[in-house]
Amino acid sequence: MMKIEDFEFLRVDVADRVATITLNRPELLNAVNGEMHRELKYVFRAIADDLASDVVILTGAGRGFCSGGDLDWLQHMVDNEGSFNSIIEEAKAVVFSMLEMPKPMICRMNGDAIGLGATLAVCCDMVVADENARFGDPHVRAGLVAGDGAAILLPMIVGHLRAKEILLTGSILSAREAQAIGLINHVVPTEELDERVALLTERLLNGATQAIRFTKIALNRMLRKAAQDQMDVLMAYEALSSRTRDHAEAVAAFREKRKPKFTGG
């Protein structure tokens, strides 16, 4: 069992009944590598058990929230066939532990939430975004199935037709566009982000803690059930897609800063 004090790419601070989890790779807009992904598997369970906190804030260091998967990590999995299989249980644990978190969790979306970043955002209970941030899950543009949670949650938030357009085209939405369809609660200027997050945090801290927790648990029951029902299939399909020529081509294209040439293989 990994301990919080051993984390390298997540920073956890607990003060005044608030636990703040910070994705901490600011030089790469908090892109997720293998080590951060492993830490994400454990951090939400640890905070759920923390007696010193009643509200959780998830954010990113620097000017990004989470830009998705790290290219070197993706390239490693392309070069080592079958290595994607090792992260399937981790990916499930990240989503399950977020949806099972009994404490209210606010996403302080201080920059783009892309790919896994989008999943992390919508697994929170409230999202407050910088007006310059963007939201999207472009797995298909990387030749991958969107298996790590967004394909489960987006249809339940925005409806199937909108979710299909976002996921099948890999669309990237502005914060305002995402807010208009219910993916973000509040969009504010950069200088007002902390104030709005603090306002929501204070309201939760001043509320009836157990009533808030039990209400969240009840509201998340449908989301937890959907995740339990669907993630095995989605992650299996994502694992299959990770072995395709189109995925390898997409990773190469991203690294070479060109458009990928998909062949359907």
- Structurally, the chain folds into a number of domains equal to 1
Q: Helix, strand or coil for residue 56?
A: strand
pLDDT value for 76: 96
CA atoms within 13 A on the CB side of 156: 17
149 within 8 A of 121, measured Cβ to Cβ: no
pLDDT in tens, 9-66: 999 999 999 999 999 999 999 999 999 999 999 999 999 999 999 999 999 999 999 9
Structural domain includes residue 21: yes
Flag whether pLDDT at 1 surpasses 90.
no
Determine the Cα angle at 129 with ends 144 and 46, to 5°. Answer: 70
Structural domain includes residue 200: no
The domain that holds 224 is classified in CATH as 3.90.226.10
pLDDT in tens, 238-249: 999 999 999 999
> Which runs of E-coded beta strand occur in the chain?
10-15, 18-23, 55-60, 105-109, 113-114, 126-130, 134-136, 172-174, 186-188
pLDDT in tens, 205-232: 999 999 999 999 999 999 999 999 999 9
Structural domain includes residue 66: yes
Structural domain includes residue 265: no
Structural domain includes residue 102: yes
* pTM, entire model: 0.97
Structural domain includes residue 262: no
Domain around 60: 4-192+209-256
Structural domain includes residue 171: yes
pLDDT value for 3: 85
Structural domain includes residue 137: yes
pLDDT in tens, 114-150: 999 999 999 999 999 999 999 999 999 999 999 999 9
